[in-house]
Structure 1
Amino acid sequence: MTEFTQQHGVREIRPKILFQQIEERNPDRNVMFNVSIPSSAIGGMTLLESSILVSLASLTSASIFFEFGTYMGATSVLLAANSAPHARITTVDLPPASIDTAKPDSDEVTLILQNDIENDNYLRRTFAEKGAFYIDRADAETQNKIKRIYHDSRSLDPQAQDLAGRFDFIFIDGGHDYDTVAIDTTNALKMAKPDAVIIWHDYRSKIHGDVTRFVDHFSQEIPLIHVQNTMLAFMLKGKFRNLLPN
Protein backbone atom coordinates (compact mmCIF):
# COMPACT_ATOMS: atom_id res chain seq x y z
CA MET A 1 0.00 0.00 0.00
CA THR A 2 1.34 3.45 -0.89
CA GLU A 3 1.72 6.13 1.75
CA PHE A 4 -0.08 8.76 -0.33
CA THR A 5 -3.39 8.87 -2.11
CA GLN A 6 -4.85 11.73 -4.14
CA GLN A 7 -8.35 13.09 -3.61
CA HIS A 8 -9.84 16.37 -4.78
CA GLY A 9 -6.38 17.84 -5.29
CA VAL A 10 -5.49 17.21 -1.65
CA ARG A 11 -2.72 14.72 -0.89
CA GLU A 12 -3.48 12.31 1.93
CA ILE A 13 -0.76 11.32 4.37
CA ARG A 14 -0.75 9.13 7.44
CA PRO A 15 0.23 10.83 10.72
CA LYS A 16 3.31 8.63 10.91
CA ILE A 17 4.82 10.43 7.93
CA LEU A 18 5.32 13.50 10.11
CA PHE A 19 6.34 11.46 13.13
CA GLN A 20 9.00 9.67 11.08
CA GLN A 21 10.48 13.04 10.14
CA ILE A 22 10.66 13.96 13.82
CA GLU A 23 12.36 10.66 14.64
CA GLU A 24 14.90 11.02 11.86
CA ARG A 25 15.89 14.47 13.07
CA ASN A 26 16.20 13.32 16.67
CA PRO A 27 17.68 9.81 16.57
CA ASP A 28 19.30 10.00 20.00
CA ARG A 29 16.54 11.42 22.17
CA ASN A 30 12.92 10.98 23.11
CA VAL A 31 10.86 13.83 21.64
CA MET A 32 8.29 14.97 24.18
CA PHE A 33 5.58 17.62 24.07
CA ASN A 34 3.31 19.36 26.56
CA VAL A 35 -0.44 19.16 26.08
CA SER A 36 -3.53 19.64 28.19
CA ILE A 37 -6.03 16.83 28.54
CA PRO A 38 -8.41 17.42 25.59
CA SER A 39 -11.35 19.59 26.53
CA SER A 40 -14.75 17.96 26.80
CA ALA A 41 -16.25 21.13 25.30
CA ILE A 42 -17.32 21.42 21.69
CA GLY A 43 -14.68 22.86 19.39
CA GLY A 44 -11.46 21.50 20.83
CA MET A 45 -8.75 19.48 19.12
CA THR A 46 -7.92 15.82 19.60
CA LEU A 47 -4.61 14.63 21.00
CA LEU A 48 -3.62 13.45 17.54
CA GLU A 49 -4.35 16.88 16.06
CA SER A 50 -2.35 18.54 18.82
CA SER A 51 0.61 16.27 18.11
CA ILE A 52 0.39 17.11 14.40
CA LEU A 53 0.48 20.86 15.11
CA VAL A 54 3.46 20.49 17.41
CA SER A 55 5.24 18.25 14.89
CA LEU A 56 4.76 20.76 12.08
CA ALA A 57 5.96 23.59 14.30
CA SER A 58 9.04 21.57 15.22
CA LEU A 59 9.83 20.46 11.67
CA THR A 60 9.63 24.05 10.40
CA SER A 61 11.37 25.56 13.46
CA ALA A 62 8.46 27.97 13.72
CA SER A 63 8.68 30.74 16.29
CA ILE A 64 6.27 33.44 15.05
CA PHE A 65 2.72 32.09 15.07
CA PHE A 66 -0.67 33.51 14.11
CA GLU A 67 -4.00 31.95 14.98
CA PHE A 68 -7.37 32.83 13.45
CA GLY A 69 -9.90 31.97 16.16
CA THR A 70 -8.79 32.10 19.79
CA TYR A 71 -11.89 30.46 21.32
CA MET A 72 -10.82 28.74 24.58
CA GLY A 73 -7.15 29.55 23.97
CA ALA A 74 -6.08 25.91 24.09
CA THR A 75 -4.22 26.04 20.78
CA SER A 76 -2.42 29.25 21.71
CA VAL A 77 -1.26 27.61 24.93
CA LEU A 78 -0.26 24.42 23.09
CA LEU A 79 1.94 26.37 20.67
CA ALA A 80 3.40 28.55 23.44
CA ALA A 81 4.21 25.54 25.61
CA ASN A 82 5.98 23.70 22.79
CA SER A 83 8.02 26.47 21.20
CA ALA A 84 11.28 28.25 21.89
CA PRO A 85 11.46 30.83 24.72
CA HIS A 86 11.61 33.65 22.15
CA ALA A 87 8.53 32.41 20.26
CA ARG A 88 5.45 34.59 20.02
CA ILE A 89 1.84 33.64 19.31
CA THR A 90 -0.64 36.23 18.07
CA THR A 91 -4.28 35.14 18.19
CA VAL A 92 -7.37 36.96 16.92
CA ASP A 93 -11.04 36.61 17.76
CA LEU A 94 -14.13 38.79 17.78
CA PRO A 95 -14.51 41.50 20.44
CA PRO A 96 -16.66 39.73 23.07
CA ALA A 97 -18.98 42.74 23.34
CA SER A 98 -19.87 42.38 19.66
CA ILE A 99 -21.20 38.84 20.07
CA ASP A 100 -24.90 38.13 20.53
CA THR A 101 -25.11 36.07 23.73
CA ALA A 102 -28.88 35.53 23.65
CA LYS A 103 -29.64 31.93 24.57
CA PRO A 104 -31.11 29.83 21.75
CA ASP A 105 -34.48 28.14 22.08
CA SER A 106 -34.68 24.39 22.57
CA ASP A 107 -35.01 23.68 18.85
CA GLU A 108 -31.79 25.54 18.11
CA VAL A 109 -29.92 23.71 20.88
CA THR A 110 -30.49 20.39 19.15
CA LEU A 111 -28.85 21.79 16.02
CA ILE A 112 -25.54 22.75 17.66
CA LEU A 113 -23.91 19.48 16.59
CA GLN A 114 -25.74 19.31 13.28
CA ASN A 115 -25.90 22.77 11.76
CA ASP A 116 -22.78 24.78 10.92
CA ILE A 117 -24.36 28.17 11.60
CA GLU A 118 -25.77 27.15 14.98
CA ASN A 119 -22.47 25.52 15.88
CA ASP A 120 -20.51 28.69 15.13
CA ASN A 121 -23.05 30.75 17.07
CA TYR A 122 -22.55 28.44 20.05
CA LEU A 123 -18.76 28.76 19.82
CA ARG A 124 -19.02 32.55 19.70
CA ARG A 125 -21.37 32.66 22.70
CA THR A 126 -19.04 30.42 24.67
CA PHE A 127 -16.11 32.68 23.86
CA ALA A 128 -18.06 35.81 24.84
CA GLU A 129 -19.16 34.26 28.15
CA LYS A 130 -16.00 32.43 29.23
CA GLY A 131 -13.17 34.03 27.29
CA ALA A 132 -9.91 32.29 26.42
CA PHE A 133 -9.69 30.58 29.81
CA TYR A 134 -6.83 28.27 28.82
CA ILE A 135 -4.69 31.38 28.40
CA ASP A 136 -6.07 33.02 31.54
CA ARG A 137 -5.05 30.12 33.74
CA ALA A 138 -1.68 29.43 32.09
CA ASP A 139 1.57 30.27 33.88
CA ALA A 140 3.11 33.71 33.40
CA GLU A 141 5.82 32.49 31.04
CA THR A 142 3.22 30.99 28.69
CA GLN A 143 0.95 34.01 28.87
CA ASN A 144 3.82 36.36 28.06
CA LYS A 145 4.35 34.58 24.73
CA ILE A 146 0.75 35.18 23.65
CA LYS A 147 -0.71 38.39 22.24
CA ARG A 148 -4.49 38.61 21.94
CA ILE A 149 -6.22 40.74 19.32
CA TYR A 150 -9.96 41.43 19.46
CA HIS A 151 -11.00 42.14 15.88
CA ASP A 152 -13.26 40.69 13.20
CA SER A 153 -10.75 38.76 11.10
CA ARG A 154 -12.75 39.50 7.96
CA SER A 155 -11.75 43.15 8.20
CA LEU A 156 -8.08 42.63 9.00
CA ASP A 157 -5.69 44.65 6.86
CA PRO A 158 -2.33 42.87 7.13
CA GLN A 159 -0.39 45.74 5.62
CA ALA A 160 -2.00 48.51 7.66
CA GLN A 161 -1.87 46.48 10.88
CA ASP A 162 1.77 45.47 10.48
CA LEU A 163 0.99 41.79 10.00
CA ALA A 164 2.21 41.28 6.44
CA GLY A 165 5.03 38.81 5.82
CA ARG A 166 5.73 38.23 9.52
CA PHE A 167 4.59 34.71 10.38
CA ASP A 168 6.08 31.31 9.75
CA PHE A 169 3.14 29.30 11.16
CA ILE A 170 -0.52 30.25 10.65
CA PHE A 171 -3.49 28.29 11.98
CA ILE A 172 -6.94 29.01 10.51
CA ASP A 173 -9.78 28.03 12.84
CA GLY A 174 -12.07 31.05 13.13
CA GLY A 175 -15.44 31.43 11.41
CA HIS A 176 -16.26 28.30 9.42
CA ASP A 177 -18.47 29.71 6.66
CA TYR A 178 -17.00 29.71 3.16
CA ASP A 179 -16.53 33.49 2.88
CA THR A 180 -14.77 33.79 6.23
CA VAL A 181 -12.43 30.89 5.51
CA ALA A 182 -11.65 32.42 2.12
CA ILE A 183 -10.92 35.86 3.61
CA ASP A 184 -8.82 34.40 6.42
CA THR A 185 -6.85 32.37 3.86
CA THR A 186 -6.26 35.40 1.65
CA ASN A 187 -4.97 37.31 4.66
CA ALA A 188 -2.88 34.34 5.82
CA LEU A 189 -1.11 34.27 2.46
CA LYS A 190 -0.27 37.97 2.88
CA MET A 191 0.86 37.46 6.46
CA ALA A 192 3.03 34.40 5.87
CA LYS A 193 6.78 34.56 5.37
CA PRO A 194 8.13 33.11 2.11
CA ASP A 195 8.94 29.92 4.05
CA ALA A 196 5.90 29.02 6.14
CA VAL A 197 3.15 26.54 6.91
CA ILE A 198 -0.57 27.41 6.82
CA ILE A 199 -3.01 25.00 8.47
CA TRP A 200 -6.80 24.73 8.36
CA HIS A 201 -8.86 23.01 11.05
CA ASP A 202 -12.26 21.34 10.46
CA TYR A 203 -11.37 19.94 7.05
CA ARG A 204 -13.68 16.95 6.50
CA SER A 205 -15.73 18.01 9.51
CA LYS A 206 -19.22 16.52 9.63
CA ILE A 207 -20.58 19.93 10.63
CA HIS A 208 -18.51 22.60 8.89
CA GLY A 209 -18.80 21.51 5.26
CA ASP A 210 -17.79 24.95 3.97
CA VAL A 211 -14.23 24.42 5.24
CA THR A 212 -13.95 21.25 3.18
CA ARG A 213 -15.47 22.90 0.12
CA PHE A 214 -13.06 25.81 0.36
CA VAL A 215 -9.95 23.68 0.93
CA ASP A 216 -10.86 21.31 -1.92
CA HIS A 217 -11.40 24.27 -4.24
CA PHE A 218 -8.23 26.03 -3.11
CA SER A 219 -6.23 22.84 -3.60
CA GLN A 220 -6.86 23.02 -7.33
CA GLU A 221 -4.44 25.96 -7.38
CA ILE A 222 -2.13 25.25 -4.42
CA PRO A 223 -0.87 21.78 -3.35
CA LEU A 224 -2.40 20.88 0.02
CA ILE A 225 -2.03 17.96 2.41
CA HIS A 226 -4.57 16.30 4.67
CA VAL A 227 -3.47 14.21 7.65
CA GLN A 228 -5.64 11.12 7.88
CA ASN A 229 -7.78 10.63 10.99
CA THR A 230 -7.67 14.36 11.69
CA MET A 231 -9.51 17.48 10.53
CA LEU A 232 -6.21 19.19 9.65
CA ALA A 233 -5.15 20.24 6.16
CA PHE A 234 -2.05 22.29 5.46
CA MET A 235 0.10 23.91 2.82
CA LEU A 236 3.87 24.23 2.79
CA LYS A 237 5.45 27.38 1.37
CA GLY A 238 8.93 28.04 0.07
CA LYS A 239 11.69 25.73 1.23
CA PHE A 240 9.20 23.69 3.24
CA ARG A 241 7.64 22.28 0.05
CA ASN A 242 10.35 19.63 0.26
CA LEU A 243 9.69 18.88 3.92
CA LEU A 244 7.93 15.56 3.27
CA PRO A 245 8.90 12.65 1.04
CA ASN A 246 7.20 12.43 -2.34
Structure 2
Amino acid sequence: MLANILYTRPTIEQALSALDKSRLKLPVLNPRALFDDFESQPVTLVELSQGPWSSPVADTVMLAKFAMCAKPKRVLEVGSYRGFTTKMLARHTAEDARIVAFDRDPRHGEAYRGTAWEAKIERRVGDMCEEAFVQDMPGSYDLIFLDADHSYDAVKRDTEILLPLIAKDGLFIWHDYANWGRFSRKNGVPEYLHECSRNIPIANVNGSWLAVYSPAWASTDGIELFNRACNSDADKAGTDPWTIEVVRG
Protein backbone atom coordinates (compact mmCIF):
# COMPACT_ATOMS: atom_id res chain seq x y z
CA MET A 1 0.00 0.00 0.00
CA LEU A 2 2.78 2.44 0.94
CA ALA A 3 4.56 1.73 -2.34
CA ASN A 4 1.38 2.56 -4.25
CA ILE A 5 0.96 5.85 -2.36
CA LEU A 6 4.55 6.86 -3.03
CA TYR A 7 4.19 5.93 -6.68
CA THR A 8 1.09 8.08 -7.15
CA ARG A 9 2.60 11.28 -5.75
CA PRO A 10 4.26 12.48 -8.99
CA THR A 11 1.21 11.38 -10.96
CA ILE A 12 -1.07 13.55 -8.82
CA GLU A 13 1.31 16.50 -9.21
CA GLN A 14 1.38 16.03 -12.98
CA ALA A 15 -2.39 15.71 -13.18
CA LEU A 16 -2.95 18.90 -11.19
CA SER A 17 -0.42 20.74 -13.34
CA ALA A 18 -2.08 19.53 -16.52
CA LEU A 19 -5.32 21.17 -15.40
CA ASP A 20 -3.58 24.55 -15.23
CA LYS A 21 -3.18 25.43 -18.91
CA SER A 22 -2.40 29.10 -18.25
CA ARG A 23 0.72 28.72 -16.13
CA LEU A 24 3.26 29.26 -18.91
CA LYS A 25 2.68 32.81 -20.10
CA LEU A 26 5.96 33.90 -21.67
CA PRO A 27 6.04 34.50 -25.43
CA VAL A 28 7.54 31.64 -27.44
CA LEU A 29 10.74 32.48 -29.27
CA ASN A 30 11.82 30.81 -32.51
CA PRO A 31 15.65 30.68 -32.41
CA ARG A 32 15.78 30.46 -36.20
CA ALA A 33 14.59 34.08 -36.26
CA LEU A 34 17.57 35.09 -34.11
CA PHE A 35 20.26 33.13 -35.95
CA ASP A 36 20.19 32.40 -39.68
CA ASP A 37 22.45 29.39 -39.19
CA PHE A 38 20.62 27.89 -36.21
CA GLU A 39 19.28 24.85 -38.07
CA SER A 40 22.54 24.12 -39.86
CA GLN A 41 24.73 24.07 -36.76
CA PRO A 42 25.74 20.43 -36.20
CA VAL A 43 25.44 19.08 -32.67
CA THR A 44 27.52 16.06 -31.71
CA LEU A 45 25.75 13.79 -29.23
CA VAL A 46 28.18 11.16 -28.00
CA GLU A 47 26.53 10.10 -24.75
CA LEU A 48 23.25 10.45 -22.91
CA SER A 49 23.12 12.35 -19.63
CA GLN A 50 22.75 10.28 -16.49
CA GLY A 51 20.99 11.07 -13.24
CA PRO A 52 17.57 12.55 -12.38
CA TRP A 53 18.82 16.15 -12.25
CA SER A 54 20.44 16.10 -15.69
CA SER A 55 18.91 18.29 -18.40
CA PRO A 56 16.80 16.46 -21.02
CA VAL A 57 18.56 15.70 -24.29
CA ALA A 58 16.36 18.08 -26.32
CA ASP A 59 17.29 20.97 -24.02
CA THR A 60 21.03 20.26 -24.07
CA VAL A 61 20.95 20.06 -27.87
CA MET A 62 19.07 23.37 -28.02
CA LEU A 63 21.56 24.93 -25.60
CA ALA A 64 24.49 23.64 -27.67
CA LYS A 65 23.02 25.25 -30.80
CA PHE A 66 22.66 28.57 -28.97
CA ALA A 67 26.30 28.31 -27.93
CA MET A 68 27.45 27.53 -31.47
CA CYS A 69 25.52 30.47 -32.93
CA ALA A 70 26.39 33.00 -30.21
CA LYS A 71 30.08 31.95 -30.10
CA PRO A 72 30.66 32.87 -26.44
CA LYS A 73 34.19 33.23 -25.13
CA ARG A 74 33.17 33.08 -21.47
CA VAL A 75 30.41 30.76 -20.25
CA LEU A 76 29.02 30.31 -16.74
CA GLU A 77 26.92 27.31 -15.77
CA VAL A 78 25.33 27.37 -12.31
CA GLY A 79 23.99 24.00 -11.21
CA SER A 80 26.50 21.73 -12.93
CA TYR A 81 25.56 18.42 -11.26
CA ARG A 82 27.37 15.55 -13.02
CA GLY A 83 28.66 17.81 -15.78
CA PHE A 84 27.07 16.37 -18.91
CA THR A 85 25.70 19.77 -19.98
CA THR A 86 29.04 21.36 -19.14
CA LYS A 87 30.75 18.85 -21.39
CA MET A 88 28.28 19.59 -24.21
CA LEU A 89 29.05 23.30 -23.87
CA ALA A 90 32.78 22.60 -23.94
CA ARG A 91 32.38 20.45 -27.06
CA HIS A 92 30.34 23.09 -28.90
CA THR A 93 32.28 26.26 -28.13
CA ALA A 94 35.51 27.57 -29.60
CA GLU A 95 38.82 26.08 -28.56
CA ASP A 96 39.76 29.27 -26.70
CA ALA A 97 36.39 29.57 -24.92
CA ARG A 98 36.40 29.11 -21.17
CA ILE A 99 33.58 27.61 -19.10
CA VAL A 100 33.04 28.11 -15.37
CA ALA A 101 31.02 25.26 -13.86
CA PHE A 102 29.60 26.13 -10.43
CA ASP A 103 27.83 23.81 -7.99
CA ARG A 104 27.59 23.54 -4.22
CA ASP A 105 28.20 19.77 -4.26
CA PRO A 106 31.95 18.95 -4.33
CA ARG A 107 31.24 15.81 -6.36
CA HIS A 108 30.08 17.74 -9.42
CA GLY A 109 31.62 17.37 -12.87
CA GLU A 110 32.28 13.66 -13.15
CA ALA A 111 31.24 13.62 -16.84
CA TYR A 112 34.18 15.72 -18.02
CA ARG A 113 36.81 15.17 -15.35
CA GLY A 114 39.73 13.27 -16.84
CA THR A 115 38.66 14.01 -20.41
CA ALA A 116 40.15 16.29 -23.07
CA TRP A 117 37.39 18.86 -22.37
CA GLU A 118 38.45 19.40 -18.78
CA ALA A 119 41.15 21.90 -19.83
CA LYS A 120 38.43 24.35 -20.96
CA ILE A 121 36.50 24.14 -17.70
CA GLU A 122 37.08 25.93 -14.42
CA ARG A 123 35.32 23.93 -11.75
CA ARG A 124 34.07 25.86 -8.71
CA VAL A 125 32.40 24.61 -5.54
CA GLY A 126 30.40 26.84 -3.21
CA ASP A 127 27.05 28.13 -2.02
CA MET A 128 25.18 30.69 -4.09
CA CYS A 129 25.90 34.19 -2.82
CA GLU A 130 27.37 37.39 -4.20
CA GLU A 131 30.73 36.61 -2.58
CA ALA A 132 31.03 33.47 -4.71
CA PHE A 133 31.45 35.65 -7.84
CA VAL A 134 33.50 38.59 -6.56
CA GLN A 135 36.33 37.55 -8.88
CA ASP A 136 34.05 38.01 -11.92
CA MET A 137 33.71 41.48 -13.39
CA PRO A 138 30.26 42.81 -14.35
CA GLY A 139 29.43 41.87 -17.93
CA SER A 140 32.19 39.27 -18.09
CA TYR A 141 30.15 36.32 -19.39
CA ASP A 142 28.76 35.91 -22.91
CA LEU A 143 26.49 33.02 -21.92
CA ILE A 144 25.03 32.15 -18.52
CA PHE A 145 23.06 28.97 -17.98
CA LEU A 146 21.16 28.74 -14.68
CA ASP A 147 19.97 25.27 -13.70
CA ALA A 148 20.29 25.12 -9.92
CA ASP A 149 17.65 25.16 -7.15
CA HIS A 150 14.30 25.79 -8.89
CA SER A 151 12.28 27.05 -5.95
CA TYR A 152 10.93 30.57 -6.37
CA ASP A 153 13.15 32.12 -3.69
CA ALA A 154 16.27 30.37 -4.98
CA VAL A 155 15.83 31.24 -8.65
CA LYS A 156 15.07 34.85 -7.68
CA ARG A 157 18.22 35.06 -5.57
CA ASP A 158 20.39 33.34 -8.18
CA THR A 159 19.10 35.48 -11.04
CA GLU A 160 19.65 38.72 -9.14
CA ILE A 161 23.23 37.65 -8.36
CA LEU A 162 24.02 36.55 -11.91
CA LEU A 163 22.28 39.12 -14.13
CA PRO A 164 24.97 41.79 -13.62
CA LEU A 165 27.55 39.30 -14.93
CA ILE A 166 26.04 38.95 -18.40
CA ALA A 167 27.60 40.91 -21.27
CA LYS A 168 25.51 43.52 -23.11
CA ASP A 169 25.13 41.25 -26.13
CA GLY A 170 25.21 38.02 -24.13
CA LEU A 171 22.52 35.44 -23.46
CA PHE A 172 21.09 34.48 -20.08
CA ILE A 173 19.31 31.13 -20.20
CA TRP A 174 17.21 29.54 -17.47
CA HIS A 175 16.27 25.88 -17.36
CA ASP A 176 12.98 24.34 -16.19
CA TYR A 177 10.59 26.94 -17.45
CA ALA A 178 8.07 24.12 -17.38
CA ASN A 179 4.72 23.13 -15.92
CA TRP A 180 5.85 20.94 -13.07
CA GLY A 181 6.45 21.45 -9.36
CA ARG A 182 3.90 24.19 -8.79
CA PHE A 183 1.94 22.51 -6.03
CA SER A 184 5.00 20.99 -4.35
CA ARG A 185 6.69 24.40 -4.73
CA LYS A 186 9.79 22.71 -6.10
CA ASN A 187 9.65 24.74 -9.31
CA GLY A 188 8.99 28.47 -9.13
CA VAL A 189 10.85 29.30 -12.35
CA PRO A 190 7.69 30.18 -14.34
CA GLU A 191 6.28 32.42 -11.61
CA TYR A 192 9.54 34.29 -11.10
CA LEU A 193 10.21 34.76 -14.81
CA HIS A 194 6.70 36.08 -15.35
CA GLU A 195 7.47 38.77 -12.79
CA CYS A 196 10.85 39.50 -14.41
CA SER A 197 9.26 39.81 -17.84
CA ARG A 198 7.45 42.97 -16.69
CA ASN A 199 10.84 44.70 -16.73
CA ILE A 200 13.01 42.80 -19.22
CA PRO A 201 12.20 40.84 -22.41
CA ILE A 202 12.21 37.10 -21.67
CA ALA A 203 10.86 34.31 -23.85
CA ASN A 204 10.43 30.56 -23.74
CA VAL A 205 12.56 28.88 -26.41
CA ASN A 206 10.35 26.99 -28.84
CA GLY A 207 10.16 23.27 -28.07
CA SER A 208 12.17 23.37 -24.85
CA TRP A 209 12.18 24.03 -21.11
CA LEU A 210 14.57 26.92 -21.71
CA ALA A 211 13.84 30.62 -21.23
CA VAL A 212 16.18 33.26 -22.64
CA TYR A 213 17.01 36.96 -22.19
CA SER A 214 19.61 39.27 -23.69
CA PRO A 215 20.45 42.80 -22.50
CA ALA A 216 20.81 43.66 -26.20
CA TRP A 217 17.03 43.35 -26.54
CA ALA A 218 16.60 46.52 -24.46
CA SER A 219 17.54 48.68 -27.46
CA THR A 220 15.04 49.71 -30.14
CA ASP A 221 16.56 47.36 -32.74
CA GLY A 222 16.92 44.64 -30.15
CA ILE A 223 13.30 44.69 -29.06
CA GLU A 224 12.21 44.62 -32.70
CA LEU A 225 14.32 41.51 -33.23
CA PHE A 226 12.91 39.97 -30.05
CA ASN A 227 9.34 40.68 -31.14
CA ARG A 228 9.95 39.22 -34.61
CA ALA A 229 11.47 36.10 -33.09
CA CYS A 230 8.43 35.72 -30.84
CA ASN A 231 5.92 36.21 -33.63
CA SER A 232 7.29 33.89 -36.28
CA ASP A 233 4.64 32.71 -38.74
CA ALA A 234 6.39 29.36 -38.84
CA ASP A 235 5.13 28.64 -35.33
CA LYS A 236 1.52 29.55 -36.15
CA ALA A 237 0.90 27.20 -39.03
CA GLY A 238 -2.38 25.87 -37.65
CA THR A 239 -3.26 22.38 -36.54
CA ASP A 240 -2.18 20.33 -39.55
CA PRO A 241 0.67 18.10 -38.31
CA TRP A 242 2.25 18.25 -41.79
CA THR A 243 2.61 22.04 -41.67
CA ILE A 244 3.30 22.83 -38.00
CA GLU A 245 6.98 23.64 -37.52
CA VAL A 246 7.13 23.86 -33.71
CA VAL A 247 10.13 21.90 -32.42
CA ARG A 248 9.26 18.62 -30.72
CA GLY A 249 11.16 18.81 -27.42
Q: CA deviation at 1:31?
A: 3.1
- Contact 1:225/1:235 (<8 A) preserved: yes
Q: CA deviation at 1:205?
A: 4.3
Question: Which stretch shows the higher mean deviation, 160-169 or 216-225?
Answer: 160-169
Q: Which segments of 5 or more consecutive residues in structure 2 lack a partner in the other structure?
A: 1-21, 232-249
The change in CA–CA distance for 1:26 and 1:93 in structure 2 (over 3 A counts) is: closer
Match in the other structure for 1:149: 124
Q: CA deviation at 1:134?
A: 0.6
CA distance in 2, matches of 1:21, 1:155: 32
Match in the other structure for 1:188: 162
SS at match of 1:226: strand
Q: Which amino acid aligns with 1:132?
A: G
- Contact 2:138/2:165 (<8 A) preserved: yes
CA distance in 2, matches of 1:162, 1:31: 30
CA distance in 2, matches of 1:223, 1:44: 27
CA distance in 1, matches of 2:145, 2:38: 25
Q: Which amino acid aligns with 1:25?
A: D
Q: 1:12 aligns with which of 10, 19, 28?
A: 28
Match in the other structure for 2:69: 59
After superposition, residues 216-231 of structure 1 pair within 5 angstroms as: 216-231=194-209
Q: CA RMSD in A?
A: 2.6
Mapped pair 1:136 → 2:113: yes
Count, aligned residues? 199
After superposition, residues 200-215 of structure 1 pair within 5 angstroms as: 200-207=174-181, 208-215=186-193
Q: Which amino acid aligns with 1:52?
A: M
Q: What percent identity do the matched residue pairs reach? A: 25
The change in CA–CA distance for 1:176 and 1:85 in structure 2 (over 3 A counts) is: same
Match in the other structure for 1:115: none
The change in CA–CA distance for 1:220 and 1:7 in structure 2 (over 3 A counts) is: farther
The change in CA–CA distance for 1:222 and 1:7 in structure 2 (over 3 A counts) is: farther
The change in CA–CA distance for 1:63 and 1:189 in structure 2 (over 3 A counts) is: same
Q: Tell me the TM-score normalised to structure 1 length.
A: 0.71
Q: Which segments of 5 or more consecutive residues in structure 1 lack a partner in the other structure?
A: 1-5, 97-127
Q: Which amino acid aligns with 1:234?
A: V
CA distance in 2, matches of 1:61, 1:231: 22
Q: Tell me the TM-score normalised to structure 2 length.
A: 0.70
- Contact 1:9/1:223 (<8 A) preserved: no
SS at match of 1:25: coil
